[in-house]
Amino acid sequence: MVLILSENRDPCTIEILKWLDHFGTPWLRINEDDEVAFECLEYRDNQLIQLVVSVNGRLVDLVRIKAYWYRRGWLQDSQGQHGALSPDAKINRQLSAYLGEELDNVLLFIHRYLQTEKPHISSFLNAGNDKTYYLMAAIKAGLSVPDTLICNKKKRLAAFAQRTNGNRTITKSINELFSFSCYDKFYTAATYEVSREEIAACSDRFFPSLFQGYVEKYCELRVFYLLGELYAMAIFSQQNEQTRLDFRNYDHDHANRNVPFSLPEAVEQSIRDFMTSIRLNCGSLDFILTPDMRFVFLEVNPVGQFGMVSYPCNYQLERRVATALNDML
């Protein structure tokens, strides 16, 4: 059986489950809102013989799982919600915190067990978008990255901006892309160009923020990586004022042109070296291809969407993921 940890409305998961059904592959999907409860962990004769959880009332022995795909989401044990353990509020808070840590330790073991003992695609433990570390790892793997500064002082930012390409500086989130809805409107904080006037007007100290030198682009590239194989797509986002800095500033009325793209062998090898070094066997990578044909690495999302690459390029990535899981059984 294939175990899949995902989110309720993830479209990639739905399509891959259709392929698994087509192959006749048994699967179990756990979403973030399912009722999950730890039941039993037992070692006997120097072997782990049971690791049982309850999923919506169904007992599942994870030792019997043959393959694992971490798509998204998390394990949330429903037993973590309990009533008062003591009439004293202060004691109750400390006891509740202690029991929560006890349960978290078991859940962490489950993630480690699935990652280290089962054939798998992706991992909960490596799912964070660690941009600062990934930039360093990319350089070591032979990839080029933009000039980058994370700072909290205007003086440093101003000096950095003077050294960037044409005094052009962009800013984006250090971690995940930030988005939220409020008063029936949806907001996304993608890549934004910071003007010299804005730098001059900002306060002397501010919250630590990420800045990069502007990189001129011929196009953007989204590369899906799966178990050593690469599937690249060129995104001609620079031809639209709304998307020229970042294709994620989507213009749904005038969509970017997306086409399959063949990466040079040297770039492919650097990507493989990079993904191996950060212990990812699946992920979506973003690059800029400059007018002089340099490949500049921006970031990798370990759990990024890949339907946007699959359909325009006819790569059938959902079938490839399902096939890889089926072959692990």
Contact between residue 301 and residue 284 where contact means Cβ atoms under 8 Å apart: yes
Higher pLDDT, 304 or 18: 18
Average pLDDT, integer, range 273-279: 97
- Looking at residue 98, its pLDDT comes to 86
Dihedral pair phi/psi, residue 244, rounded to 5°: -65, -30
Average pLDDT, integer, range 95-123: 92
**Percent of the residues in the chain that have a pLDDT greater than 90, as a whole number:** 67
Cα 221-226-232 angle, rounded to 5 deg: 20
Interval 211-238: pLDDT, tens: 999 999 999 999 999 999 999 999 987 7
pLDDT band at 249 (very low <50, low <70, confident <90, very high): low
- Looking at residue 112, its pLDDT comes to 95
Structural element, H or E, at residue 131: helix 131-140
- Looking at residue 63, its pLDDT comes to 97
Nearest CA to 284 among 268, 303, 297, 271? 303
Report CA dihedral (80, 95, 106, 42) to the nearest 10 degrees.
Answer: -110
- Looking at residue 80, its pLDDT comes to 56
Interval 282-323: pLDDT, tens: 999 999 999 999 999 999 999 988 999 999 999 999 999 999
Lowest mean pLDDT among 22-26, 29-33, 107-111, 184-188: 184-188
Average pLDDT, integer, range 37-41: 93
Q: What domains sit in the chain, N to C, each tagged with a CATH number?
A: 2-126 (no CATH), 128-146+216-302 (3.30.470.20), 147-214 (no CATH)
What integer best gives the mean pLDDT of the chain? 90
